[in-house]
Amino acid sequence: MSLAKLNKRIDAVDSLLCVGLDPAETTSAGDTFAFNRRIIDSTHPYAAAYKLNTAFYESAGAVGWDALELTIAYLHKAYPDVFIIADAKRGDIGHTSEQYARAFFDRLNVDAVTLNPLMGYDALAPFLERADKVSILLCRTSNAGAADFFDQMVDSTPLWQHIAHKAAQAWNRHNNCMLVMGATEPQHIATARVLAPDIPFLIPGVGAQGGDLAASVKAALMPDRRGLLLNVGRGILEHSAPAAAALRYQMAINEARGQ
Amino acid sequence: MSLAKLNKRIDAVDSLLCVGLDPAETTSAGDTFAFNRRIIDSTHPYAAAYKLNTAFYESAGAVGWDALELTIAYLHKAYPDVFIIADAKRGDIGHTSEQYARAFFDRLNVDAVTLNPLMGYDALAPFLERADKVSILLCRTSNAGAADFFDQMVDSTPLWQHIAHKAAQAWNRHNNCMLVMGATEPQHIATARVLAPDIPFLIPGVGAQGGDLAASVKAALMPDRRGLLLNVGRGILEHSAPAAAALRYQMAINEARGQ
C-alpha cells in the first residue's frame, strides 16, 4: 500500500517536504535529466517526495517524456524509498482514464498521480481501484480562479467541500486517497481536515504563490504529526543553493508541526 | 481565426463529423502512425476534423508522443485544411497552463485543445488568450459520473450551466471557444444552445456510449446549419470499413441537420 511507503519515508527523513521538479525549459532529455538529478542528489536528505508536473515535460514533446522517464527511473534506482508523484491533473471518461492510469502507474511507475474530479467517479475509478497506488484529487487549489467553481455553493456548502466529503465517505475505500489543498487559504485546509480526517493533503502554493507555510501545516496535521506533504518548486529549484533551501523548508515545516 | 478554419472545412466537405483517432495500443510510433494514416487517408473526404485523445498516446510514453506528433504533422501536410483537436482535458494554475498551451498550440501545432474548467479562469487564460486557436471547455460530459459534480445545483441551476454561461458571457471574447456537450443527454444540449447561442459544441458519446445522434445534432444546430462537431472514435476505427462507416455518420448527421 503506497501511503505506507510515504509514511515510512516521512519518518525516515523526518520531513513533510515535497520538491516540485518543474524544469524551466527542456531543450534535450539529457540536459533536463541532468538538472533534475542535481536537484535530487542535493535535496533528497530533506525530501519525503518529489513531484513532477507533466506540463513542463510535455511542452518539449517526446524529448520531454524521455526526461520525465529518465528522472523517475533515476529516483527508483538511487532513492527507492522516496515517494514519486506525477502532477498530471488527469480525468476523462472511464475507457480513457484506464489508459492514463496505465500510463502513470504502470509505464511511468509513479506512486501517485494528481487527478481532476470534475467528471465524477467513473473518471477516477481506474485510479482509485489501484490499491497499490495513491490518487491525489484536486479539492481546493491555490489559484485565484479557484473561486470560479470550487467555491460555488451547492446546498449551502462550497463545491470543494463536496469533493472532500465524497473522497472521505466514498472514494477512499482502499485508503489510497490524498487531496490537493492550496496553501493560500489555510482556513480551507482546517475545514478539509474536519471533513476528511484520515486523508493526507498535498499542499502547493507556498513560496512563489505566497501561501502561509506555518498556518497551512498546522491546519493539515493529523494526530500522528503527519497528514500532509508541502510542495515547493521554484523556491528550491531557482535558489542558488537548492540543498540549503530544501533544508530550510524542512525545518520550517517541522517547527510548525512542533518537532 | 481558427473557428473560421473549421467553418471553411465544414462547408468544403459538407460534414460535421470529427473522427477520434484513439489507437487501441501503441507498440511503436511507426505502427500507430501507419494505423492513423490509413484511417485518415480513407476517412478524410467525410471528416471536418480529427481529434486525438492524448491518453492513448501517453500510455506508450515517448514513443506515443512521437506517434502523436507524426500524425499531426501528416495531417498538416496531406490535408492542411482539416481541423485538428488535441483532446487533452488540461487545466492547471496559470504558470503551468502556459506550458500546456505552448505544448499543444505551438509545439504540437493543433487548432484546438480540450480543457477542464474546474480550476477557473486563470487556468484557462493562457489558452483563451490565443485568438488564433480554439479552446474547447468541458461543459457537460457523456459519462455516468458527470452527475457527481456537473449536475450539482448552484443557485438553482446545475454547475454545468454555469460553465456554459461563463463561456458565453466572459470567456469567448476572441470568439474562439467551443463546449463539450455529451450526446447522452440531448436535452442538455438544447439548454446549452440557449445559454451559449454563438458557441459551437464538440459532441462525444454517440456510438460506443449510446448517445442519440439525430437528437443531439438537432439540439446543437445553429441557424447557419453548423454549430457542432460530432465525434466518433471506435465506431469508425474498429469498423471493418472505416471509410464506409465515416460516410454513414456524415450522412446521418446531414440528414439530422436537414441537408
3-class DSSP string for chain B = CHHHHHHHHHHHHCCCEEEECCCCCCCCHHHHHHHHHHHHHHHHHHCCEEEEEHHHHHCCCHHHHHHHHHHHHHHHHHCCCCEEEEEEEECCCHHHHHHHHHHHHHHCCCCEEEECHHHCHHHHHHHHCCCCCEEEEEEECCCCCHHHHCCCEECCEEHHHHHHHHHHHHHCCCCCEEEEECCCCHHHHHHHHHHCCCCCEEECCECCCCECHHHHHHHHCCCCCCCEEEEECHHHHCCCCHHHHHHHHHHHHHHHCCC
ipTM score of the complex?
Answer: 0.94
- Burial grade of B100 (CB within 10 A; 0-12, 13-18, 19 or more): buried
Task: Give the pLDDT mean for B223-234.
Answer: 96
A66–B66 C-beta distance less than 8 A: no
Residue A22 pLDDT greater than 70, yes or no: yes
Question: Would you say the pTM of this structure is higher than 0.90?
Answer: yes
Q: At what angle do helices B29-43 and B242-256 cross, to 10 degrees?
A: 50
Parallel, antiparallel, or unpaired for β A157-158 and A153-154? antiparallel
pLDDT digits (tens, 9 = 90+) for A126-165: 999 999 999 999 999 989 999 999 999 999 999 999 999 9
CB-CB neighbors (< 8 A) of B95 in chain A: 208
pLDDT for B1 beyond 70: no
- Phi, then psi, of A142 in degrees rounded to 5: -100, 5
Does the pLDDT value for residue A1 go beyond 70?
Answer: no
Q: Is the pLDDT of residue B208 over 90?
A: no
Cell 460555488 locates to: A152
Contact B120 A162 (CB under 8 A): no
Report residue A178's pLDDT band, with 50, 70 and 90 as the boundaries. very high
Q: What is the mean pLDDT of chain A?
A: 95
From the list A59, A121, A138, the residue facing B103 with the nearest CB is A59
Q: Residues A82-131: pLDDT tens digits?
A: 999 999 999 999 889 999 999 999 999 999 999 999 999 999 999 999 99
**Confidence check: pLDDT of B209 > 80:** no
Instruction: Name the closest residue on chain B to residue A26, using Cα atoms.
Output: B99
3.20.20.70, 3.30.460.10, 3.40.50.280, 3.40.50.720: CATH of A2-256:
3.20.20.70
Q: Which of A255, A245, A247 is nearest to A225 (CA)?
A: A255
Taking contacts as CB-CB distances below 8 angstroms, the residues of chain B near A64 are 65
Of B58, B61, B118, nearest to A149 by CB-CB distance is B118
- CB nearest B154 (choices: A90, A94, A153): A153
Could you give the percent of chain A with pLDDT greater than 90?
91
DSSP three-state, residue A24:
coil
User: Is A149 within 8 Å of B141 when comparing Cβ atoms?
Assistant: no
Going by the DSSP 8-state scheme, the letter that residue A199 receives in this structure is -
B149–A120 CB contact, under 8 Å: yes
Measured in angstroms, the CA of A11 and the nearest CA of chain B are apart by 31
B136: chain A residues, CB-CB within 8 Å:
none
Domain ranges of chain B: 2-256
Above 80 in pLDDT, residue A168?
Answer: yes
- Average pLDDT of the residues in B171-186: 96
Alpha-carbon distance B172 to nearest alpha carbon in chain A (angstroms)? 16
Q: Which residue in A66, A103, A144 is closest to B58 by CB distance?
A: A103
pLDDT mean over A52-79: 94
